[in-house]
Structure 1
Amino acid sequence: MPQSYIKRILDARVYDVARETPVDQAALMSRRLDNRVWLKREDLQPVFSFKLRGAYNKMNCLSDEQRAKGVVAASAGNHAQGLAMAADKMKVKAIIVMPRTTPQIKVDAVRDRGAKVILHGDSYDEAAAHAAKLVEEKGMTYVHPFDDPDVIAGQGTVGMEIVRQHEQPLDAIFVPVGGGGLLAGVAAFVKYVWPQTRVIGVEPEDAACLKLALEKGRRAVLPEVGLFADGCAVAQVGKETFRVVKNLVDEVITVGTDEMCAAIKDIFEDTRSIAEPAGALALAGLKHYVEREGAQGQDLLAIVSGANTNFDRLRYISERTEIGEQREAVISVTIPEKPGSFRAFCNALGRRNITEFNYRYADAGSAQVFVGLSVVPGGTDLAELMIKLQQKGYEAKDLTDNEVAKLHIRYMVGGHAPGGLDSERVYRVEFPERPGAMAKFLSGLGQRWNISMFHYRNHGAAYGRILVGVQVPASEKRDFTRVLEEIDYRYWDETDNLAYQLYLGQREQD
């Protein structure tokens, strides 16, 4: 099957606008992982992403009549900028439909390249539906971000360059996966020239549409898609991309948010460049693979696919990085509420670096302390510390993998709820980060139930997150759930979450 794409890739016209990006050795990562780690620097493209390749190649394959009518696309970022630059180069009218949640920096970047931007809907699907309507009404050509042979061929030039730039076959190549266009193009070319090289797709744990398709043997739609790696937030892998990759890819690895944050830091330390979450996805998968396999002395390459991120997001990324590197742990410890107890607890921690310490007086019996501290990665350091604390009589709980603790509780430690809140239920809610979105949520709740707790923090992303406590009697829980469904924001019931119970839940009365 890949043979049919080889000629397409060799003939692809991308270098009128795209540049041949370097393959750089990541010296620091290579030493740390005891392998030769290489980075394919697609973040150095004029639009800071590989998407320019596929968009321009597709434009070159259109007829004069199609170009005269113009092109349209739906995108929240990298594809939009790539198509806008391609259209500007070829003097073709371009309309890009972007969700209203798209950060202003990306909207401005598309407009600056001469494309007309229409803001429509809160999600990619709503934007895509409006783009399809424009195609029908105006006779314009829709340029798909990944599920198109000409787009795939354009992205495949990344694989062609890797083969040309590296002197000998690599042991493995790690490719980020959204809809699968980049993976399809790279796998088709690399497997044809270097059949012995493992080609591994990497997806976010909460947007693993290719992994789902491979498990089922057919394309399927994810019921929910995580948005942290917005460049890979796709609910269903493409039809053509799946046809290409299903027999070529060696495996698919999934990684979490903290692992991506750690990989962003790794790329920065080796290159002084800041990748976006999707751009660091492949390196996170490479590190996961090395740890799982115990690989040593191998040539491993990760594609750094993009660097279009908001500056405001760096605060959140930085906070999660050390946990992603397994260099920081978050624990909850109960200590006696008496003079000298803090000093005794710090002595029990030894000479560890404390990264965070949150506490507020609750009662005369005991204190609940929220602690962030440095640990040695990849070993038993944290487990040994927990055992040591328990042996000294402390009740300690590991919250390192608790999302509510990391997203909300660490900023809210301030005392338990007073008595009389037996009916409090707690929900984590995700909503589009745009004017009026929070008001819609609060208006939707109405005045029937009392809000007893509320926390929101802007992370510079397309979606915001709320932790809210609401007094809902057991007899009214079904009615409240129905209201949440009508508001139509993603939500999780966190009433039984350990971090909430430890720090914010109702304190039992003596």
Structure 2
Amino acid sequence: MDELTAATKQYRPQLEAVREAKERISKVTLLTPLASSFTYSRKFNANIFLKREDLQQVRSYKIRGAYNKISSLPKDQLNKGVICASAGNHAQGVAFACNKLQTKGVIYMPVTTPRQKVEQTQMFGGEWVEVVLKGDTFDDSYKQAVVHGLEKSLVFIHPFDDPKVIEGQATIALEILEQAGAPIDYVFAPLGGGGLLAGLSSVFKQLSPQTKVIGVEPEGAASMTASLQEGKVVELQTIERFVDGAAVQKVGAINFDLCRDNLHQMLSIPEGKICQTILDLYNQDAIVAEPAGAMALAALDLFSEEIKGKNVVCILSGGNNDITRTAEIKERALLYSGLKHYFIVRFPQRAGALKEFVETVLGPNDDITHFEYSKKHHRENGPAVVGIELKDAEDFAPLVQRMKDYNFYGQYLNDSPDLFQFLV
């Protein structure tokens, strides 16, 4: 569904349909807690509540929309089977629904999908699903899944741009309003294709219009931000795939229309900031959040003044994080915070040069965490790629100055993304 048809352009989620969805999915979803966060409430001097969708059986809210859509299909369509494309969480929701409803499903996922999400999809679906890894991005998988579905007459279960999916995700808003003991001033929620925010914002617009609904997406895949700026759905040519649960090149057409009308504001957050939030959640609250799941909390810094003394809900949308990504998450967080830096350092090719660098250039709290060097004969200097971790970001400028003063400075790599990715 690439463009709005006359029918879908007029579509607005009706409360009756959302309430029906809530009843329909109650067989398979959990009433996830709306938990007060002591850590974030103290940090922002506000009442911060976390809607813990990471505690669903498939560890994300996606089960809501997937099950609502599939369970509402006529029996003859269920007998033919369904097909979907997903970066991971929607796949697990579809797989769970197929197993529960005993209908065959074909699930396309990008080749780059974290292994943990692929294995979970296969586990939830069992014998009822076939997982097909195709394409580098969600959008690549989506296009191939659509073709496959048309060839085999399978019902396509869109991860976000479908009324039944939107209504399923919108049930979160009903739960929040039922669980909250006081009026809600702000809701922060993540956005990839826009299904969650389209449904969420529509319900709040009708039942709690004073609530400001804020959308949050990754800076490297800010497709809704670009679309809202252009006044139409925009397809990004390239995206950063790290926040796999929200990395889409093109938001849903229905969702764009609803978000444009209902959102208070749209934010894009650097991936490094999201990584730091993941680490904070784990270290401070023992919560395992995936990158997309932590985005809403990562955005609170941008509203630190506005939310003081307010009632704020953040959707913690998913906890499907692969432990093998921990090193990358830590690295990105350190780079974002200015504590990790990579250089090409030019070492004089003589004995004692490294010792001189350590003793005269490095500060007392600086640590070498990466070192690649190959001695070049018949040359005065030999370049090395050196990674240095600082205790305080303010130590960076003095470190660079000492490198230059002692003729070790070659090139700063953090500001050269292509070279940085190649070397480190």
TM-score by length of 2: 0.83
Q: Do 2:13 and 2:167's aligned partners in 1 also have CA atoms closer than 8 Å? A: no
1:142 to 156, 175, 183: 156
Q: Deviations over 1:216-245 (max 9, x none)?
A: 101121111221111112111111111111
The residue that corresponds to 1:305 in the other structure is: 317
Q: Residues 108 and 134 of structure 2 are in contact (CA less than 8 Å); yes or no, is this contact kept in structure 1?
A: no
Q: 1:370 to 1:137 in 2, by over 3 A?
A: closer
1:82/1:368 Cα in 2 relative to 1: closer, same or farther (>3 Å)?
A: closer
Matched with 1:221 is 235
Query: Equivalents in 1 of 2:146, 2:12: separation in Å?
Result: 32
| C-alpha deviation, 1:30, in angstroms | 3.5
Displacement of 1:150? 0.9
> Which AA in structure 1 matches 2:163?
P
Match of 1:16 in 2: 27
Q: Secondary structure at the match of 2:261?
A: coil
TM-fit CA distance, 1:193: 2.7
> 8 Å contact 2:185–2:212 — kept in the other structure?
yes
* Structure 1, 215-224 or 9-18: larger mean CA deviation: 9-18
CA apart distance, 1:210: 0.6
Q: Do the aligned residues in 1 keep the contact of 2:362 with 2:399 (CA within 8 Å)?
A: no
Root-mean-square deviation (CA), in Å? 3.2
State the Cα distance separating 1:9 from its structure 2 match: 1.6
Contact 1:43 1:305 in 2 (8 A): yes
CA contact (8 A) 1:29 1:266 kept: no
Quick one: distance in 2 between partners of 1:383 and 1:125? 40
Whole-angstrom distance in 2 between the partners of 1:197 and 1:147 = 24
In the other structure, the counterpart of 1:152 is 166
Instruction: Give the direction of change, closer, same or farther, for the CA distance of 1:323–1:163 in structure 2 (3 Å limit).
Output: farther
DSSP 3-state at the match of 2:130: strand
**Aligned residue for 2:371?**
358
Shift of 1:392: 6.1
In the alignment, the residues of structure 2 paired with residue 382 and residue 300 of structure 1 have an alpha-carbon distance, to the nearest angstrom, of 36
1:120-139 Cα deviation digits (max 9, x unpaired): 53244453344334433443
Residues 366 and 32 (structure 1), Cα distance of their counterparts in 2 relative to 1, 3 Å cut: farther
Structure 1 stretches of 5 or more lacking a match? 411-510
Q: Distance in 1 between matches of 2:113 and 2:12?
A: 38
The higher-RCO structure (CA 8 Å, 6+ apart) is 2
Aligned to 2:93: 82
Pick from 263, 266, 286 the counterpart of residue 249 of structure 1. Answer: 263
Per the alignment, do residues 357 and 102 of structure 1 end up closer, same or farther by CA in structure 2, a change over 3 Å counting? closer
Deviations 1:439-467 (A, max 9, x none): xxxxxxxxxxxxxxxxxxxxxxxxxxxxx
Q: Which residue of 2 aligns with 1:109?
A: 120
Task: Describe the shift of the 1:22–1:344 C-alpha distance in structure 2 as closer, same or farther (beyond 3 A).
Answer: same
Using the alignment, how far apart are the partners of 1:327 and 1:30 within structure 2? 26
Contact 1:335 1:341 in 2 (8 A): no
Q: Does 1:62 align with 2:73?
A: yes
Change (3 A) 1:225 1:368: closer
In the TM superposition, what are the counterparts of 1:380-399 in structure 2 within 5 Å? 381-382=394-395, 385=398, 389=402, 399=413
Quickly say closer, same or farther: Cα 1:335–1:95, change in 2 above 3 A: closer
1:253-310 CA-partner distances (Å, limit 9, x unpaired): 11222122112112212332322222222222223443xx586444433222112233
1:81-230 alignment, distance < 5 Å: 81-112=92-123, 113-114=125-126, 115-119=128-132, 121-123=134-136, 124-230=138-244
**Paired residues of 2:371 and 2:386 also in contact (CA < 8 A):** yes
Q: Tell me which amino acid in the other structure corresponds to 1:136.
A: L
Query: Is the contact made by 2:345 and 2:384 (CA closer than 8 Å) also made in structure 1?
Result: yes
Alignment of 1:39 onto 2:53: no
Q: Please tell me the residue identity of whatever aligns with 1:6.
A: L
Instruction: Report the TM-score when normalising by structure 1.
Output: 0.70
1:181 Cα offset (Å): 0.1
Give the conservation status (yes or no) of the 8 Å contact 2:12–2:258. no
From 367, 370, 390, the counterpart of 1:374:
390
CA displacement at 1:180 relative to structure 2 = 0.3
Amino acid at match of 2:120: A
Q: Which moved more, 1:170-179 or 1:401-410?
A: 401-410
Kindly provide the amino acid, as one letter, of the partner of residue 258 in structure 2.
V
For 1:5, which of 2, 14, 19 is the aligned residue? 14
Matches within 5 A, 1:203-352: 203-290=217-304, 296-324=308-336, 326=337, 328-330=339-341, 332=343, 337=348, 342=355, 346=359, 350-352=363-365
Q: How much does 1:50 deviate? A: 0.8
Cα drift, residue 196 of structure 1: 2.5
CA distance in 2, matches of 1:265, 1:5: 38
CA gap of 1:333–1:152, structure 2 versus 1, over 3 A, is same
Instruction: Between 259-268 and 125-134, report the one with greater CA deviation.
Output: 125-134
SS of residue in 1 equivalent to 2:369: strand
Preserved contact between residue 232 and residue 278 of structure 1 (Cα < 8 Å) = yes
1:67 maps to amino acid: L
SS at match of 1:48: coil
CA contact (8 A) 1:357 1:370 kept: yes
Q: Return the letter of the residue paired with 1:321.
A: A
How far apart are residue 142 of structure 1 and its match?
Answer: 1.4
Does structure 2 retain, via aligned residues, the 8 Å contact 1:27–1:270? no
SS state of the match for residue 293, structure 2? coil
SS at match of 1:279: helix
Q: Distance in 1 between matches of 2:283 and 2:11?
A: 36
DSSP 3-state at the match of 1:57: helix
Gaps (5+ residues) in structure 2? 1-9
* Matched pairs, number: 404
What's the CA shift for 1:369? 7.3
Aligned partner letter, 2:294: A
Letter in 1 for 2:30: R
Q: What is the rounded CA distance, in whole Å, between the counterparts of 1:69 and 1:358 in structure 2? A: 57
Paired residue type of 1:151? V
Q: Which amino acid aligns with 1:162?
A: I
Q: Which residue identity lines up with residue 199 of structure 1 in the other structure? A: V
Report the Cα distance in structure 1 between the residues aligned to 2:66 and 2:371, rounded to whole angstroms.
Answer: 50
- Cα distance in 2 for partners of 1:372, 1:171 equals 43
Q: Quick check: which one's helix share is greater?
A: 2
State the alpha-carbon separation in 2 of the partners of residues 65 and 330 from structure 1. 59
Q: Is the 8 A contact 1:207 1:235 kept in 2?
A: yes
